[in-house]
Amino acid sequence: MKISVIGTGYVGLVTATCFAFLGHDVACLDIDEKKIEGLKNGEIPIYEPNLDKLLESTKATGKFPIFTTDPEEAISHGEVIFIAVGTPPKPNGEPDLKYLEACAETIAKHAKDDAIIINKSTVPVGSGNWVYMLIEHANPTLLFHVASNPEFLREGSAIFDTLYPDRIVIGTDGDFAKTKLAELYRPLIEQEFKAPEYCHRPEFIEAKAAKSKIPFIATDITSAEMIKYSANSFLAMKISFANQVANICDLVGADIVEVMNGIGSDSRIGAKFLNAGIGWGGSCFGKDVHALIKIAEEYDYKPDLLTATCDVNYRQRNLVIKKLQEQMKILKGKRIALLGLAFKPNTDDLRDAPALDIASALIKLGASVSVHDPIAMPNCKKQNPDLAVTYVDDVYELVKNKDAVVLVTEWQDYRDLDLEKVYSSMNGNKILLDGRNIYTPDEAARIGFKYIGMGREAKESKPALV
């Protein structure tokens, strides 16, 4: 099938590459000339594991995507046109739809009759109707169809999530688009393809093998749009719930990891997204929860649970500062190392990253802050030139003579650290604040650290009862 993708960010580029890998003819449009020139040479402008390899593999099949800044070339190419432009939040939490509006007006000029225009971007409920209105107004003679196809990609595992999704959701108001999109997605629904091993994540190999067929959920446009916001809001709520319980565990002396293991084993609840810590960040959860809040408020409905989800999350970042103050009293003049900058592992994305808020708060209180991240440091230097931190390329150099080390992002590199070597390099209080609960408290305490978890602590061993 001939596919057009408008926007070459995380969603657009992964979508385009995977469809090209599956054998479709793909054209990608972006206004950034430098990015497009790089993509023509196989240069990936984002960090997403193995995306460069998958894009390169399309050359062998003759399906390497067309990358262009020419709207006519890209849009007239497509039977199916995916809109994958940004919808960043405004200061009041509403999504900014200026790129979506410009995209719709451009499509109206260049699309061919019977084109299916799909909102792949996360857009407010009602955007399908709005896009239809914009295109129809700009080109009344064009025959076209509008659909919603929300993405459920996780940065760091976006290829896997595209090729082996939990479900495919399509929102349409007509049989033509539904039939066409079912045909488009058939190789994924039926799992009729063979992907290179680097497209798999080891922890998901068993799950992948068990998926004989992917659920195809066909609904109306409004419900499809609501599915996306509801899914992300629920996942964010699960994390915030775990964090609120963790804070209670701190008060009563329970271990949040044990508590979440206990409740997550209930099939009605599930274990995923119950990891307590310093909270979620990134471009999706906060934006989507706030957008759903705004939608509710348009109808004079107060979504208390969604509001609390955000409040709990952002308090977790401040809790890091409070925990350090409880141990060191005064932070002025203290030397603190942060492990991780990206909002999650396996990405260089710093949007709404907890590390940035934590670093800024520590600096404001007079601490000296040094940071390390396996991937995100170049991005941080570029995007936050006024952030007064010291960037250190080697983790063991980072921790030298530090009073406290704060684990912010759970990169595998940090899970594999030699904690005894870290301890011996530090000075002063030798605090290990485990913001993601990835270390064993008793082991850290045995080494000598003052271990601080999020809802857990080191337990002193007790003599056996006689």
Distances (CA, A) of 347 to 224, 301, 341, 455, 457: 27, 36, 10, 26, 29
Candidates 125, 142, 146; CA nearest to 224 is: 125
Q: Sheet of 404-407: strands edge to edge?
A: 390-391, 368-372, 335-339, 404-407, 431-434, 450-452
3-state helix, strand, coil in the chain (%, to 5): 45, 15, 40
Amino acid identity at 92: N
Tracing tokens 């599915």 back to the chain, one arrives at 227
How many residues can be counted in the chain?
466
How far apart are the C-alpha atoms of 145 and 112, rounded to whole Å?
A: 11
What's the CA gap between 407 and 173, in Å, rounded? 48
Do β-strands 115-119 and 144-148 pair in parallel, antiparallel, or remain unpaired?
Answer: parallel
Amino acid letter, residue 241: F
Encoded tokens for 231: 């899914």
Strands 368-372 and 390-391 come out as: parallel
Residue 59 phi/psi, 5° resolution? -65, -40
Q: What are the φ/ψ torsions at residue 171 (nearest 5 degrees)?
A: -115, 120
- Find the catalytic residue in 18, 249, 284, 380: 284
DSSP state letters, 122-186: ---TTHHHHHHHHHHHH-TT--EEEEE------TTSHHHHHHS-S-EEEE-SSHHHHHHHHHHHH
How far is 164 from 160, CA to CA, in rounded Å? Answer: 6
Active site residue 284: yes
Catalytic site residues? 284
